[in-house]
Copies of this chain bind each other. A is one copy, B any other.
Amino acid sequence: MKLFEDRILTDGVVAPGGIIKVDSFLNHQIDVAFLNEVGREFYRLFRDDNVNKILTVEASGIGIACITAQYFDAPVVFAKKSQTSNLDSDVWSAPVVSYTHHREYTIRVAKKYLTPNDRVLIIDDFLAMGNAIVGLNSIIGDSGATTAGVGICVEKGFQSGGQRIRELGLKLRSLAIVNLDGEGRIFFSEQDE
């Protein structure tokens, strides 16, 4: 998505350790008008996949998922990273190692919010090692629902998550695939429209 690539070039920041910071418009401050264009694009990419539910994981995925859900007229479910007193005890769960948080945690979805009739679009802001997406896909599989697709805002082309998700046979679409050259400058992988 050219609009997304352009926004990364304008407002994204490369930090040490291969961190791509997009916190000025995507995952700390959120440009909601821009997010509407993102949601519209995800709809264009997945509108023929009979999506009836959108699944993401707290926290950064939630805003993107909610705005996108408006185009699909589907509810959002977000996986929780902690066992709170207002979460059912009857949950599907999966372990996830976080790249940005340097820790392992368990993601949980109450069983009643995923059913075998669901065709689920997974939405997230970043795809790096793919651990969160693999965990969400595992939860969908456990529930008997089907993963209809995976929509990512920023895929890191220099990490293995994209290959891993594609090898699972999932339909993955990333709005920008970011690579870094030898001097830490951003360039994008070519993609079909």
Residue on B with the closest CB to A28? B110
Whether B32 and A77, one on each chain, are in contact in the complex, defined by CB atoms closer than 8 angstroms, is no
A80 within 8 A of B: yes
| Docked pose: A53 CA to B37 CA in angstroms | 20
A40 within 8 A of B: no
| Docked pose: A65 CA to B63 CA in angstroms | 8
Q: Mark A96-134, 1 if CB is under 8 A from B, else 0.
A: 000011100000011011000000000000000000000
Q: Mark A50-80, 1 if CB is under 8 A from B, else 0.
A: 0000000011001101110110011111101
Copies per complex? 2
30 contacts between A and B (CB under 8 A): A15-B85, A15-B86, A19-B85, A19-B86, A21-B86, A23-B86, A28-B77, A28-B80, A28-B87, A29-B76, A29-B77, A29-B113, A30-B66, A30-B69, A30-B75, A30-B76, A30-B77, A32-B70, A32-B75, A58-B58, A58-B59, A59-B59, A59-B62, A62-B63, A63-B66, A63-B78, A82-B101, A84-B101, A85-B100, A85-B102
